[in-house]
Every structure is written in C-alpha cells, then in structure tokens.
Chain A
Amino acid sequence: MADITQVVEKRANPVVAFFSAIGDFFKRFGIAVAQGDASVKLSLLICGVGYWRRKQIIKGIIVTLLEIGVIAYTALIGVGYIAKLPTLGTVQQEIVYNPDTMKNEMNHYDNSLLILLFGSISLVMIIVALILWMANEITVYHIQQDVEAGRHINTFRDDLHDLLNRKFHITLLFFPILGIIVFNIFPLIVMIAVAFTNYDRKHMPPAFLFHWVGLKNFKALFSNSLTMSFGYSFGKILGWTLLWAVLATATTYFGGIILSLLINYKYTRFKKMWRTLFVITIAIPQFVTLLMMRNFYADTGIVNTFLQKIGFVGFLKSIGLISTNYIPFLTSPGWAKASIVMINIWVGVPYLMLITTGVLLNIPSDLKESAMIDGANKFQIFRNITMPYMLFITGPYLVTQFTGNINNFNVIYLLTNNFYTTTDQKLAASSGQEVDLLVTWLFRLTSDKYNYKMASVIGICVFVICAVFTLFAFNFLIKGDREETFR
C-alpha cells in the first residue's frame, strides 16, 4: 500500500511542479515590479531601459527592437485578424467580369482560412510576447540585484561567449524548437480549430466563408443513422485499427525474432546469404512491393489463376468457405484483413530481423552457459533468458512500432485504395471501408470529399488515442528499473 501511494504521489508531482512553477513565475514578476528601481519599472514600458542603465547597450537595443516589432505586427496585422476571429469573416467573395479590361473585379472579401491561420498565430504570439515581457522584467531585476551585490555583469561579448559554452544547449535547441513551433504547433492549433467549424466542400475559401459550429461535428461522431453514419463507421474503423496495430506489431515482432534465431542457429549454413536475401526485400521500395502484391492477389490475379488451375478454389467453394469463383484475397472483409496482415509480415519482418540479430548477438553468453549447466533446455533458455532480454531492449521500439502501425498508411492504402469496395451501406455512406485505418479514412475524407471538419475531428481522436497509449506504455510497461536484472 505504501508503495502505491508513493507512486501516485510521484506521478502527481510533475503536475504540481508545473503549476507551482507558474505561480512562482508570477510571484517573481510581482517582486521585480515592486522592488525594482526606476529603470526596472520603466522597462515595463520600454523593455531595453533596464539593460541600458547597466551599460548592456546592444542587448537593450535588441530587446527594444523585438518589442517594437511585436507591437507593430500586432497593431498592423494581428489586430485585424484577431478581430475577425470570432466570426471567421463576414464578407463573401464576389467576382464581376469587366469586358473592357478583360479582367475580373473582386471585392475585398474575407478568407476564413487565412483569418483562422493568422488570427490564431497572432493570438499565440501575443501570449508568448507577454510571457517574454514578464521574463524580461525579472531578468532586468536580477541584473539590478547583481549590481547591488557587486557581482560581475556580462558584456554583450560575454553573453555571446556563454551561448557557445555554458549555455550551448540553448543555442543547439533554438532551431529545432523553432521548427517544431512553426511546422508542428501552429498547424496543429489551426487543425484542431477546424474541428469546431463547418469547413467542408460547401464552404471552401476563398470563394466561400466557413463559421464556428461549436461541438456539432463531435456530436456527428456519435450518430448512427444511414444519413449520418459517422458514429457507426468510427466504431468499426477504430476497432479494426486497434486490432490491426496489435496484430501487425506482434506478427512482425515475433516473426523477426524467430527468423533471426533460425538464421543464427548453430547449424544454419550460409548465414550471410540468407540475411542478405531478406535485406534485399528492404531495398525494394515498399510501395512497389505492395502494388505488386495487390496485383498478385487480385480476383483475377496470378495467385487466383494458379489456385483455380490446381483446383484449390473449387475445393474451398465445395466446403463453403467462399461463394465466388475466385478467392477474394483483397476484396471481401475477412479475407482482406487476413491478407493485409500476412502481406505486412512480408514487408515488416526483415527490419525486425536486422534489429533482433543485433540484440541477440549481444545477449551475454555467460547467462546462457550457466543456464545450460543448470540443465535448462533450448525452449527454457528462449523463454527465460532470450525473450525477457529482447523485450527489455526493444520495449521502446515496440511502443513506437505500435503507434506507427495505428498510423500505418502505406500498407493499407496501397493495398486497398480503388481496389476494395465495402459492401456495408452504412460505411459507404460516410466514405469508410472495413479495411480502413483511421488515417486512411481521414485521408479519403480530406482528399476526395473535402470534409475537413470531420477529418479534423477524427484526427483529434487519433491523436488522443496515440498519446494515451504511448504515455501509458512508457510509464507502466517499460520500467527503467529492470536493468539490474541483467547485470
């Protein structure tokens, strides 16, 4: 019991720490404002003053220029977009042809997408600027304290020097973090916002406006009629997505281990040749393999023709497994799901083989030897030494593999797109298929149907599922305290 409470406490700590850090930040800001001297107080207005007072001229200039830049952007561009954010624009595009100039004349219309994009970017920028502004105030106050205590004050050269030495991590991380903000965070914010609008093929900017609709799209995800079958499709597709992720991860993982064990077996000859042969399958682009497989296993493909010739199809038909004159490898729900998992083994196992070969060679041989001396047989060694060791080393890889498979677009899409047709009218009504993963469904909704709003809702769901699973897996399944078992 004591352990559990300790664990819970430990888990709650980061959250508490986070909020107390925020509280602390505001407290320090308050102290800085209250106890700072005139120049520190004036820094609230012109950010550079505090530095200038302590002879940090260049730093002061940079900070002030930054302040001017932010204020200018907000005043000139940001405010206009933010003001339109609540409505996402009101003036629709109107185009009139002028025969004299032979040009179209346009009114000053609102583009909802741009408003959403720049509006949210501006909002985020203002919040970040506010935080920086407060941080700046605290820093300036610290410098004042340093001066009062007679400590050394950095010159601009010292600061630059610091960035290359003591604070080198900041220099290194600056660009990756900037990239994440620009290419991940901003689009993410906009995409999440789209889930609360009616952005679809009837409301496509620039010609038309779209608006906020609140939680309507999320409600649609729990609907279940033929004319509104997103709920039905979501349930079915989510079920298959999870099943697929488990199957695909497990089969390739164990397949890879078994394959590498076989290749590394004492009596196997030409080890390198076998390994090379399997690596060749990696060298062939995945999509080529998949498209070829798709054609092989088509209803009129080479595999079916062959099986028809030798009478296997007739046999299956006579025992009632199939009702068609071919085996619907990729065209009927059950068969297709099984075939996709099998084909995925072919595509995925070589990678696992490579990884596990490396790990297998690293298992301390004394462990195995002592087990053998104790009289353990091959299977016992595999179960009690090889597998635990493998799981320990490749645990994180398994988790990423699982989330990767939830989003495994290539295999499913290339094998089934324009090839598989659902026979479930409810799924068809919301553009879904039995073999769809959430991502492929999402892709079809956006690229074929322009249903951005529902795609965004589904995207949020995928994100939540992946995030919850990954956090859970990393925290509970892969404990970092098992290392000593192998020491």
Chain B
Amino acid sequence: MKKKLAAMTLVAAMAVSMFAGCGSSSADSSSASKKTSGDSGSGETVDLKLWASENDQDLMKTLTDKFAKENSGTKFNITIGKLSEGDAKDTVLKDPTAAADVFSFASDQIYDLVDAGALQPVQDEDKKTIEAEDVESSVTAATVDDTLYAYPATADNGYFLYYDKNVIPEEDAKQWDTILADCQKAGKQVGMVFESGYYVAGFYYGAGFTTKRNDDGSTTLDWNGTSPSGIKGADVAQAMVDIAKNKAFMAVKDGDSANQIASGKLAAIVSGTWDSKAVQEQFGDGYAATVLPTYTVNGKQVDMASSAGYKFWGVNKNSKNVGWAMKLAMFLSNKDSQMERFKSGATGPANKEDMESPEVQKDIAISAILAQNSKNGVVQMVTQTFWDNTKTFGAKLAKGNPDNENLQKLLDDLVEACAQKSE
C-alpha cells in the first residue's frame, strides 16, 4: 500500500496527461463545486471539502449529490479535490488546518495522522454501526489506543498471487518451488517486490513472527529469534535469498510492477488489486489469481501471509463543520456507497454484506484478496522506523545477499535499527 498507491496514481496521472494532453484537468483543488438548495433552506450553507483519489472523482460527485439529496434540509457546498491515498498524510499534515474536512487515506497512515492530532474520533453511535457492519480486522486497523479514528471503506489492500494458467497449472500455484520450476521451464519469470517492508513482512508473518508498535515511536520485531511455530528467522531470510537467487525470479521494484507485467516476461506475480487490469490484459485467458503460495524452510512448507490494508475515510479534527463532516464520512463508508465504489473501480468492500454479494465474489482479483486476507492477513502494526529499515533489509535479500553476509547478523541489526525511538 504505502508508496505503491502513490506510484500508481502518479503513473495514472502521467498516462492521463500523456493521452489527454492539454485537455486533461489540472490542479489538485480545482474541482466541481456545487450548490444544492434545500427545500426549507434553514440555516446557512455548510461548506465541506472532500479529498479523494483521482480515480474516484466521478464517483464522489455522484455520492455527494446523493448525500445532499438525503439531507435536503441543509444547503451544502461540497468541494471535491484530488489526493492520493498513499500519501494522504503528507498533504494533510503539511497544514492540518487547511486540509479537507473529509479525506481518504490508506490504513498504514493512521498512526501518523493520530500522532499529529489530525483525526476526529468516531462518535459512539456511529462506532456501533461500523463495528456491526464492517469486517472486524478493518475496525481493528482503524482503532488506535482503543479509540476508533476512521471509517473503513475498502478492504482490498494486501497482496496475493496472480498467475498464468497456461504456464502454471492450478495445483502448482500453491508452492514457490513448483511455480519457479514451471516458469523456468517456460522461460518466464515470477515477480515480487522484496525491497519493501510491506512485502518482506509477508514471509515473516506467515512463519508466525510479529511486529509491535510502541508508543515511543519504535517498532519491536522478533524476527531474529525463533517463532512460536519453531521457525528460525534467519532460515526465513535464507529461504528468501534462495528464491531471489533463482533465475526464474524477478525482483520487482516497488511501483514498477505494472511495467514489468506489461513487459511480458512474467508468468506470475505477487501483487495487489491495483494490478488486476494490467495482469488480465497480459495473461488473457490464462488470467488467474489465488492465495499466496507456500515457501520452503529447511524442507518444510511454510505459509505466507499478506499485510492486509484498508482504505479509510478520515474526518479532520480542525474541520469547521465537523458534525456534517462526520455524517458525510459515515455516508461515504456505508454499505451502499461501498458497493457503488466496488462497481465503479473494482475495489474490495470492507462491508460484510457487500463482501458476500455474488458480484464481488465473481471478481477474480477481489475474491483472491478477500480469500487471502481471511486466510492469513495481518494488519501491520509498525511505526515509521520500520519502513526504511526493512526496505534496506529486503533490498539485500532481493539481490541474493551478494556479499554473503551473516543473515543472523543482518536480522539482529534490523531489529536494533527498528527499535530506535523517535522521542
């Protein structure tokens, strides 16, 4: 999720501006503003600023129109701006008092936003509804120190395996070893990002390791020890190095996956729903997706986990109309809006009923991520220190540990570096 979404939006923005040329729309905040006159017209106009991702602009227009119609007793002036969910916090935290009243963001940013005091806690009444209607893990991810700070909107962040049925038979898609072997035979490659804590963690979570977020800004990892299921952290790293050294493995860069898919070299890739269209185009009738494969540690098969992520609606604590902002956030995250969002952009809903609906189940990528997250999806509990340090660790593994460094020592260093306090 993190940088991925930012990169995706960037790529999309570039593509749009390339194709559409001068005709494309311009600045961030230039947006459709509209006035809806209520029948009674009691009170003054409520100004609300809404920031959503570039892809959701049309959808937001529809939804806010609907919102205004439902609350026709009040006049609204809702401005919709563009904001990529991947780096919402960077924009919002630049000046929280000038940021939008309601904005969409990826779940890993909730700590930074809460730390900076930018999020309005969800009111108790709404909290009950959210807890009843949305998947439990999404509510957990939106909760910091027992307070619910955000409104879950999608549950499709995370990664799983895309593969080409024509190259890799379904029964082979269950293990890294067989996938790599099949690809080698066909002269194809398997892609995955190793150079990111988001993906590296998948191997460790799968083996039973954990991450823990501390109040002093440090992250506690137990990756240099032995997991409850008896797997040594260094062996997991070794397994990753073995995969990386395989000729059929391609270490994809974060944000570069769409390019690599389009290059046609890949027959399988570990990625998320954001790549579903690209993969479908490339694999054609062989397009398939499933839960993550198992990897080999000392001859034993170990499950991989996905770092589950969500998209939330957040309400700015500094909002002038915080009451209406909360109502809007609640509306945008309700069952119908989530379904609407699924239909417009193929995003996996966090609403339990929506999840069960046949339309959602039919979508190959969405059903794969929902299956992965319900089988083995871990909400990453980490602080800022985690990302840079695991990225470096992952980069070394991605290169196949070129200097043959002691993996135990690498892990010890990683654990110590993640334990730094940010005071």
Chain B residue at minimum C-beta to C-beta distance from A424: B392
With an 8 A cutoff between CB atoms, is A228 at the interface? Answer: yes
Which of B162-170, B288-296, B319-327, B347-355 interfaces with chain A?
Answer: B319-327
Please report whether the interface of chain A is mostly helix, strand, loop or mixed according to DSSP.
loop
The number of chain B residues with a CB under 8 A from chain A is: 55
B239-273 interface bits toward A, Cβ cutoff 8 Å, 1 = contact, 0 = none? 00000000100100111100110010000000000
With an 8 A cutoff between CB atoms, is B414 at the interface? Answer: yes
A window 432-468: CB within 8 A of B = 447-451
A226, B321: Cβ atoms closer than 8 Å: no
| Interface residue from A102, A204, A325, A419 paired with B93 (Cβ < 8 Å) | A204
A29 CA to B244 CA in the complex, in Å? 78
> Contacts A418-B254, A425-B389, A448-B90 hold; do A201 and B384 have CB atoms under 8 A apart?
yes
Report the minimal beta-carbon distance from A203 to chain B, rounded to whole angstroms.
Answer: 9
Chain B positions within 8 Å of A450 at CB level: 93
B window 317-347: CB within 8 A of A = 317-324
With an 8 A cutoff between CB atoms, is A413 at the interface? Answer: no
Report the minimal beta-carbon distance from B348 to chain A, rounded to whole angstroms.
Answer: 26
A425 CA to B403 CA in the complex, in Å? 14
> Contacts A418-B254, A428-B391 hold; do A95 and B317 have CB atoms under 8 A apart?
yes
With an 8 A cutoff between CB atoms, is A422 at the interface? Answer: yes
A103-133 interface bits toward B, Cβ cutoff 8 Å, 1 = contact, 0 = none? 1100000000000000000000000000000
A299 CA to B123 CA in the complex, in Å? 50
Report the minimal beta-carbon distance from B313 to chain A, rounded to whole angstroms.
Answer: 17
> Contacts A208-B117, A450-B93 hold; do A431 and B388 have CB atoms under 8 A apart?
yes
A429, B317: Cβ atoms closer than 8 Å: no
With an 8 A cutoff between CB atoms, is A292 at the interface? Answer: no
| Interface residue from A97, A227, A425 paired with B392 (Cβ < 8 Å) | A425
Chain B positions within 8 Å of A451 at CB level: 422
A window 406-435: CB within 8 A of B = 418-419, 421-429, 431
With an 8 A cutoff between CB atoms, is A387 at the interface? Answer: no
With an 8 A cutoff between CB atoms, is B7 at the interface? Answer: yes
A103 CA to B101 CA in the complex, in Å? 12
With an 8 A cutoff between CB atoms, is A176 at the interface? Answer: no
Chain B positions within 8 Å of A103 at CB level: 320-323
> Contacts A97-B123, A428-B389 hold; do A421 and B395 have CB atoms under 8 A apart?
yes
A443 CA to B37 CA in the complex, in Å? 46
B384-396 interface bits toward A, Cβ cutoff 8 Å, 1 = contact, 0 = none? 1100110111111
A447 CA to B112 CA in the complex, in Å? 13
| Interface residue from A200, A206, A299, A323 paired with B423 (Cβ < 8 Å) | A200
| Interface residue from A227, A300, A422, A426 paired with B263 (Cβ < 8 Å) | A300
B window 110-145: CB within 8 A of A = 112, 115-118, 120, 123
With an 8 A cutoff between CB atoms, is A198 at the interface? Answer: yes
With an 8 A cutoff between CB atoms, is A477 at the interface? Answer: no
B window 65-104: CB within 8 A of A = 90, 93, 96-97
With an 8 A cutoff between CB atoms, is A324 at the interface? Answer: yes
A93, B388: Cβ atoms closer than 8 Å: no
With an 8 A cutoff between CB atoms, is B217 at the interface? Answer: yes
Chain A positions within 8 Å of B410 at CB level: 425
> Contacts A201-B115, A226-B420, A300-B260 hold; do A207 and B319 have CB atoms under 8 A apart?
no
Chain A residue at minimum C-beta to C-beta distance from B388: A428
A418, B413: Cβ atoms closer than 8 Å: no
A427 CA to B393 CA in the complex, in Å? 12
Chain A positions within 8 Å of B123 at CB level: 97, 99
With an 8 A cutoff between CB atoms, is B3 at the interface? Answer: yes
With an 8 A cutoff between CB atoms, is A101 at the interface? Answer: yes
A428 CA to B384 CA in the complex, in Å? 12
Chain A residue at minimum C-beta to C-beta distance from B383: A201
> Contacts A202-B423, A324-B402, A448-B90 hold; do A97 and B120 have CB atoms under 8 A apart?
yes
| Interface residue from A202, A227, A422, A447 paired with B420 (Cβ < 8 Å) | A227
A325 CA to B253 CA in the complex, in Å? 15
B317, A425: Cβ atoms closer than 8 Å: no
Report the minimal beta-carbon distance from B330 to chain A, rounded to whole angstroms.
Answer: 13
With an 8 A cutoff between CB atoms, is B235 at the interface? Answer: no
A window 292-332: CB within 8 A of B = 298-300, 323-325
A207, B317: Cβ atoms closer than 8 Å: yes
With an 8 A cutoff between CB atoms, is B297 at the interface? Answer: no
A104, B319: Cβ atoms closer than 8 Å: yes
A96 CA to B3 CA in the complex, in Å? 34
Chain A positions within 8 Å of B259 at CB level: 300
> Contacts A300-B260, A447-B90 hold; do A202 and B115 have CB atoms under 8 A apart?
yes
A424 CA to B422 CA in the complex, in Å? 20
Chain B positions within 8 Å of A449 at CB level: 384
Chain B positions within 8 Å of A426 at CB level: 417
Chain A residue at minimum C-beta to C-beta distance from B97: A206
With an 8 A cutoff between CB atoms, is B182 at the interface? Answer: no
With an 8 A cutoff between CB atoms, is B421 at the interface? Answer: yes
| Interface residue from B117, B260, B417 paired with A428 (Cβ < 8 Å) | B417
Chain A positions within 8 Å of B112 at CB level: 201
Report the minimal beta-carbon distance from A101 to chain B, rounded to whole angstroms.
Answer: 7
B413, A104: Cβ atoms closer than 8 Å: no
Chain A positions within 8 Å of B388 at CB level: 428-429, 431
A97 CA to B420 CA in the complex, in Å? 35
With an 8 A cutoff between CB atoms, is B419 at the interface? Answer: yes
Report the minimal beta-carbon distance from B7 to chain A, rounded to whole angstroms.
Answer: 7
A97, B322: Cβ atoms closer than 8 Å: yes
Chain B positions within 8 Å of A423 at CB level: 392, 395-396, 399
Q: Which of A102, A208, A424, A429 has the most CB atoms of chain B within a 10 A radius of its CB?
A: A429
Chain A positions within 8 Å of B414 at CB level: 425
A31 CA to B421 CA in the complex, in Å? 59
Report the minimal beta-carbon distance from A383 to chain B, rounded to whole angstroms.
Answer: 45
Chain B residue at minimum C-beta to C-beta distance from A428: B392
With an 8 A cutoff between CB atoms, is B156 at the interface? Answer: no
With an 8 A cutoff between CB atoms, is B108 at the interface? Answer: no
Chain A residue at minimum C-beta to C-beta distance from B251: A299
| Interface residue from A202, A324, A424 paired with B399 (Cβ < 8 Å) | A324
Chain B positions within 8 Å of A419 at CB level: 253
A101 CA to B324 CA in the complex, in Å? 10
Report the minimal beta-carbon distance from B86 to chain A, rounded to whole angstroms.
Answer: 12
A-B contact pairs, 5 of them (CB 8 A): A206-B97, A207-B116, A207-B117, A300-B250, A424-B392
| Given pairs A226-B413, A418-B255, 19 additional interface contacts (CB within 8 A) | A97-B123, A99-B123, A102-B321, A201-B422, A206-B117, A206-B318, A227-B421, A228-B420, A299-B253, A300-B256, A418-B7, A421-B195, A422-B395, A428-B392, A428-B417, A429-B385, A429-B388, A429-B389, A451-B422
The 3 closest A-B pairs by CB, nearest first: A102-B323, A207-B117, A428-B392
